[in-house]
């Protein structure tokens, strides 16, 4: 039940989220009630404090899945102007909306786009408008999927999303507030928002839970939404303890983000629950979803049967897991592009002549190619050109990483991702750039 007193969405949590950054903060704005309330609350918190110079950026993701999507983009842009904050957006394209779970795909693409926007604008903290009802829906969805402690922990108040040596912190300052409290706030402050008609479509599981199941549960048990959120918080605390246990059990098994098979197998024979917990913790370290119990059992059967010096490969969560030289390791699907980064004028580092690269770009002579075989590259002075096969062997590169992207300029091999640049093409004076392979989020 909504409070009858004057409500304001978690001013303490909102202020903490805003003041946690040095200069700027991002906010995901869909145009719906939740994100509009968050925008209003954060702007009032920041803009009314003379000692707070935080710069606010509003980001909107245009999915293109609804007819009024263009109107929502226009609404969000106008709202940003009203609050006098910065605005940017991304357009997403789903050519085949029938492929897979479009709801999950749209959500994943949205997070990727928001992260890219943050990195582009130098923002390390992003506010999201998830609330207590969203948490309850998430817990119920995970229950239906048969999830364990990690899944039932729901969404954390904040978490770090790291990519390419850059980290974005996602904040959920409204997570302890109910939908009814946000609605009360919006009405009292005369806020306007847009309605997404797809939220009424119970063909989507989350909508079915929101429209059909939760109202019934609230009738059976008043306060069910808050109770679900409380249980999620308690389970999150339990997960912290399980992670601590995994680190202890994995003291001699975890090696960076890899698992040593030799000490892992005795643990699995002595204490299967501890081994399962360590395996799940390792998958989390590699940003992979938790496997089903059936899949986990099939992995153990493979590991128990394989010889220590044998190779093994599994496909999981759009990534490949390999056993190579006694180590379990993850090879994510590499999708990215070559970029050229300026070498500082006073730096003594070598680089490619900037004008030469720019001219080749204008002529369309810069291209990425796949490895065909027999390519050669000289990466050090006073050394001969070597085949990529030899260079990969010398660097002890795993076989699955040897199909690296190649950079060609004027039909000459200039760089190989993870290997280096063509030394004869590098210079030490003048404006210089260095090629870098950047993976897409």
pLDDT tens readout for residues 55-111:
999 999 987 767 788 999 999 999 999 999 999 999 886 544 444 455 666 777 888
User: 437 to each of 134, 164, 335, 379, 418, how far by Cα in Å?
Assistant: 38, 11, 10, 16, 8
Does 274 share its domain with 323?
yes
Q: What is the per-residue pLDDT for 116? A: 86
Phi, psi values for residue 227, rounded to 5°: -65, -40
Is 244 domain-assigned? Answer: no
Q: Give the sign of the dihedral formed by CA 136, CA 140, CA 145, CA 146.
A: positive
Is residue 243 included in any domain, yes or no?
no
**Same structural domain for residues 139 and 285?**
no
Q: Are residues 75 and 195 in the same domain?
A: yes
- 280/277 Cα distance (integer angstroms): 5
DSSP state of 351: B
Final residue belonging to a domain, choices 286, 314, 331:
331
pLDDT of 49: 79
Segments in the chain below pLDDT 70: 1-22, 65, 93-105, 162-165, 308-309, 332-335, 400, 439-441
Shared domain for 290 and 392, answered yes or no, is: no
> Does the residue 267 lie in any domain?
yes
Measured distance CA(65)–CA(439) in Å, rounded? 26
Same domain, 350 and 324: no
**Do 321 and 342 lie in a common domain?**
no
Number of domains present in the structure of the chain:
3
- Kindly state whether residues 427 and 368 are assigned to the same domain: yes
pLDDT at 334: 57
Q: Which CATH number characterizes residue 162's domain?
A: 3.40.50.620
pLDDT of residue 308: 62
Residue 74 lies in a domain: yes
- Statement to judge: residues 126 and 260 lie in one domain: no
Is there a domain that residue 161 lies in? yes
Same structural domain, 311 and 345:
no
For 189-247, the pLDDT digits (tens) are: 999 999 888 778 788 888 899 999 999 999 999 999 999 999 999 999 999 999 999 99
At residue 96, the pLDDT reads 47
Residue 118 lies inside a defined structural domain of this protein: yes
Q: Which of 281, 313, 331 is the last residue of a domain?
A: 331
Whether residues 184 and 302 fall in one domain: no
Using DSSP, state whether 152 is helix, strand or coil: helix
Domain range holding 265?
A: 251-331
Task: Say whether both 341 and 308 belong to one domain.
Answer: no
What pTM, to 2 d.p., does this model score? 0.72
Q: What's the confidence (pLDDT) of residue 374?
A: 82
Domain match, 302 and 202 both: no
Report pLDDT for 5: 41
391 located within any domain = yes
Within a domain: 98: no
Please say whether the beta carbons of 172 and 130 come within 8 A.
yes
Among 331, 346, 368, identify where a domain stops: 331
What stretch of H or E contains 255? strand 254-255
């Amino acid at each position: 039940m909504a409070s009858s007193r004057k409500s304001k969405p978690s001013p303490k949590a909102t202020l903490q989220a805003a003041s946690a950054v040095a200069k700027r903060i991002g906010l995901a704005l869909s145009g719906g009630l939740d994100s509009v309330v968050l925008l209003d609350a954060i702007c009032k918190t920041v803009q009314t404090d003379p000692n707070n110079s935080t710069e606010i950026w509003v980001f909107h993701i245009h999915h293109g899945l609804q007819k009024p999507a263009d109107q929502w983009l226009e609404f969000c842009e106008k709202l940003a102007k009203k609050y006098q904050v910065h605005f940017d957006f991304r357009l997403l394209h789903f050519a085949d909306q029938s492929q897979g779970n479009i709801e999950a795909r749209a959500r994943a693409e949205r997070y990727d786009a928001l992260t890219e926007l943050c990195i582009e604008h130098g923002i390390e903290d992003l506010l999201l408008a998830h609330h207590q009802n969203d948490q309850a829906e998430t817990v119920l969805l995970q229950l239906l999927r048969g999830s364990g402690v990690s899944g039932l922990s729901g969404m954390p108040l904040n978490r770090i999303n790291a990519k390419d040596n850059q980290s974005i912190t996602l904040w959920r300052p409204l997570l302890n507030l109910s939908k009814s409290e946000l609605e009360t706030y919006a009405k009292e402050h005369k806020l306007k928002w847009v309605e997404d008609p797809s939220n009424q479509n119970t063909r989507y599981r989350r909508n079915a839970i929101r429209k059909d199941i939760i109202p019934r549960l609230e009738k059976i048990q008043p306060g069910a939404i808050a109770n679900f959120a409380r249980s999620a918080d308690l389970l999150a605390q339990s997960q912290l303890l399980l992670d601590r246990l995994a680190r202890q059990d994995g003291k001699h098994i975890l090696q960076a983000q890899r698992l040593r098979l030799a000490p892992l197998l005795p643990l699995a024979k002595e204490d299967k629950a501890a081994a399962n917990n360590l395996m799940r913790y390792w998958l989390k370290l590699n940003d992979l979803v938790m496997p089903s119990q059936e899949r986990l059992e099939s992995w153990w059967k493979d590991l128990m049967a394989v010889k220590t010096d044998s190779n093994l490969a599994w496909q999981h969560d759009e990534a490949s897991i390999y056993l190579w030289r006694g180590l379990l390791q993850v090879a994510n699907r590499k999708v990215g592009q070559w970029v050229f980064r300026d070498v500082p004028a006073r730096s003594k580092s070598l680089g490619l002549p900037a004008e030469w690269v720019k001219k080749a770009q204008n002529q369309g002579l810069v291209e990425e190619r796949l490895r065909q075989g027999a390519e050669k590259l000289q990466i050090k002075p006073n050394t001969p050109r070597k085949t990529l096969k030899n260079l990969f062997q010398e660097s002890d590169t795993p076989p699955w990483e040897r199909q690296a992207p190649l950079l060609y300029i004027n039909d000459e091999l200039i760089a190989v991702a993870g290997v280096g640049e063509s030394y004869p093409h590098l210079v030490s004076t003048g404006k210089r750039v260095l090629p870098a392979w950047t993976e897409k989020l």
